[in-house]
Chains A and B, each alone.
Chain A
Amino acid sequence: MTRIKGWLIILTILVISTALALGTGPVDISLWNMSATDKLILFNLRLPRILSSFFVGGGLALAGAIFQGLFRNPLADSYILGISSGASLGAATAIVLGFTSPLAIFTGVSFFSFLGSLAALALVFYFGSQNGSISPFRLLLSGLGVGLFLSSLVAILMIMAEEELKALIFFFMGGFSTSSWETALLALVFVPVGAWIAFYYARDLNVLLLGKETAQSSGVNTVLIQSVYAITAALLTSVSVSVAGLIGFVGLIVPHMVRMIFGADHRSLFPFSFFVGGIFLILCDTIAKVVIAPSELPVGVVTSLWGVPFFLYLLKREKGEYGI
């Protein structure tokens, strides 16, 4: 598929799914005859919810695409590498101990979630590398180990917490039912920044796919590029976790779908993954709202329920071009 055609299709789907999501909810709203309550619902509930899900989905897909390229590992993703667990532990600690952020632009939860994801990344990298080089399997095992360990720390925190237990459970269930302009703003500020950084260095990351030494011999400042991408992916992961809790597999599946359709050049992979991830989560959230209305499904259940079969279909269809 050509890229221009791809963009046209993606932008069309974005408009349609946004309209669909705006029109879906427990209250029926008529566009031509809106009451004050209708306007309130539309602009203070549904719009921030759509923006949150779009930027969280985009952020998760980008974080996955970055981790896959950075570690040259098609199985990498913030969830599998345990980075999401680090972000959760940071967030849970902030909730239980009532930490506040030293920086005004972050909330306490998002700041400590960012610290948590950076710390998890450092641990995964430390245990996953040997003599400075990373093997794909070692990295995955290290990520699984670190992730499980951090998740059990989260479980201990939950048992110890009494008053905050409800807040914690609510937090980890994930989803956008509590989205407000405040949470949307966090994603609106940081995800585009991360997306721009990812896009800006995309060509350097392309060269890094050939291996560290080849990249260095081509003039790539590998230390800079690897650090920039590691921090960016950790930031994107922690913002997503702070806004919507744990949502798995978007980061794994969306970049692969995009690669299968548009190829592996990061200069197109990053923007396409961002938009496809965003649209995907808007649609999943809309489905989560309607399937068992008036209650809601956790959005993570929906992402897996129809994202995974579509991914498996693409996987079966690809003709060995993928090198996996």
Chain B
Amino acid sequence: MIDKTEENTLETKSISFGYGKTLVLEDISFSIQRGDFVALMGPNGSGKTTLLKTLLGLLPPISGEILLNGRPVLSYGPKERAKLIGYASQEPSFSFPLTVKELVSLGRYPHSNRFQDSPEDEHAVEEALRITESTSLRERKFTTLSGGERQKVLIARVLAQASHLLLMDEPTTHLDIYFQLHILETLKKICREKNITIIAVLHDLNLASLFADKALLLKGGESVAFGKVQDVVNENSVREIFGVEVAKKIEPGQGPQFIFLRRPVP
């Protein structure tokens, strides 16, 4: 299944997107190799979610091009595309009592038959539950789960859907520190074990530096920096995009640590 010959899983060539005359994304270019874990970072309103939706093909860019496995993303049919890219939005409001297994099975939509799940679907669902360590939750109602459990299940759903590339919008927001680590470890494991590419919107500088391979920093709809996370996320870039003074400490054998020094730069 793993195709090593394809260099770039996803490549954007100076894409811009806007509503009317206001540009929300401007001239963004980057390329991501298979198996990368990319942290998408930037202040609120910097265009992170819009970028994810543009990459998904939900919002067509007004200029530029997005290539998925070397082909324009908009040239894929909706189901064909859904087999390659999966999307987990910020936690959806949800008031119907689907079980965890039913919810994860929804991820099989682009693959499966309208009325009957195939053994392959069953297998994909079980595997997604296993790797997210949510097998024991399978018969529970999604509405009764805790925030952290819900997030695991939502990851399992998108994992059951797509084989290539997962886009996650703030997968760790609203979670306690245990689940923040747990979710990121799960995502990292998915990257490593399955060679799946992940782009996740993350807010925590420390966690992003610890888990991501690369980072894309956005400010005001423009890409400020893109590269290896240890090179890109530093005192200068944090001051520039967030307006916050930090000190970056690197302890041998550990990830870098950011210490917040001061409140917003005036």
Contact = CB atoms under 8 A, between A and B. Distances in A.
A89 B16 CA distance: 49
Given A74-B95, A217-B58, A206 B106 contact: yes
Nearest to A267: B115
Contact of A72 (B95, B110, B141, B161): B95
B98 A264 contact: yes
B97 A263 contact: yes
Contact of A264 (B96, B107, B109, B161): B96
Interface stretch (A99-107, A207-215, A287-295, A307-315): A207-215
B92 interface: yes
Contacts of A204: 109
A194 B260 CA distance: 60
A264 B97 contact: yes
Nearest to A269: B96
Given A259-B97, A264-B96, A265-B98, A219 B89 contact: no
A218 interface: yes
Interface in A144-187: none
B82 A263 contact: no
Contacts of B161: 218
Given A72-B95, A211-B92, A259-B97, A321 B143 contact: yes
Nearest to B99: A263
B86 A217 contact: yes
B109 A213 contact: no
Contacts of B85: 217
A179 B114 CA distance: 37
Given A322-B143, A324-B95, A213 B53 contact: yes
Given A74-B96, A323-B97, A216 B115 contact: no
Contacts of A188: none
A35 interface: no
A221 interface: yes
B178 interface: no
Contacts of B215: none
A203 interface: yes
Given A207-B106, A320-B144, A213 B94 contact: no
A219 B79 contact: yes
Interface in B87-129: 87-89, 92-99, 102, 106-107, 109-110, 114-115
A209 B94 contact: yes
A210 B92 contact: yes
A111 B96 CA distance: 34
A220 interface: yes
Contact of B94 (A217, A267, A323): A323
Interface in A26-85: 68-69, 72-74
A152 to B, nearest CB: 32
A203 B109 contact: yes
B144 A321 contact: yes
Contacts of B70: none
Interface in B43-92: 53, 56, 58, 77-83, 85-89, 92
Contacts of B110: 218-219
B97 A218 contact: no
A210 B94 contact: yes
A200 interface: yes
Contacts of B94: 72, 209-210, 323
A267 to B, nearest CB: 7
B230 to A, nearest CB: 31
Contact of B106 (A74, A210, A216): A210
Contacts of B96: 68-69, 72, 74, 209, 259, 264, 323
B56 to A, nearest CB: 5
B67 to A, nearest CB: 18
Contacts of B109: 203-204, 207, 218-220
B144 A217 contact: no
A206 to B, nearest CB: 6
A211 B89 contact: yes
Interface in A217-273: 217-221, 259-260, 263-265, 267
Given A216-B58, A216-B78, A217-B86, A322 B98 contact: no
Contacts of A209: 94, 96, 98, 106
B87 A214 contact: yes
Contacts of A200: 114
A322 B98 CA distance: 9
9 contacts: A68-B96, A213-B53, A214-B88, A216-B56, A259-B97, A260-B97, A320-B144, A323-B95, A323-B97
Return the 8 tightest CB-CB contacts between A and B, nearest first: A323-B143, A219-B82, A217-B87, A219-B79, A264-B96, A219-B110, A321-B141, A323-B95
Interface of A: 68-69, 72-74, 200, 203-204, 206-207, 209-211, 213-214, 216-221, 259-260, 263-265, 267, 319-324
Given A218-B86, A322-B143, 16 more contacts: A68-B96, A206-B98, A210-B157, A214-B87, A217-B58, A217-B86, A218-B107, A219-B79, A219-B81, A219-B82, A220-B78, A259-B96, A267-B115, A320-B144, A321-B97, A323-B96
